[in-house]
Chains A and B, each alone.
Chain A
């Protein structure tokens, strides 16, 4: 089973600040998906195939990475981005989620 380790576990960013969330895989994966989960809500597909934004996702978000190292970047933090972000790998069985990064507003 591939273990996904997300860092940091929690972070706070100021409006306008650039934010980078990381996801490290224990073995190489072909691509990474990212999900946004706001408090009390279900997860939403946010980025798929490492770098493709899901429908409706603002273009201040981007994704990158390969092999064992992936990241989600917000070019300019906004209040609506407060949420927990999870990475999910589906290229190797079984599917596994990272532990999540909780993003707060400073």
Chain B
């Protein structure tokens, strides 16, 4: 597609429920990133996928968070047993392999509210 697509754009869920957030990167971009933006905070790195390499999951805040990327394209971020502190905007970005010359392209994000 023309840009990075994320769905849903907004999600309200009850505490304790599981949620899935989807990211469809730009076609041909091998790198995919998830970031989280909490109210009043900067963007926080969550996870990085690059081609068929093992993902860098070092930014995931707890074992309730997991992510996968199928076929080197679409990625799903799953949050199990959601807590109120998980409320944030979850942003996905993608970039070409040559990251030295290209910046990130971000999607519009998913605003998650846990009530």
Report if A and B associate in a common complex.
no
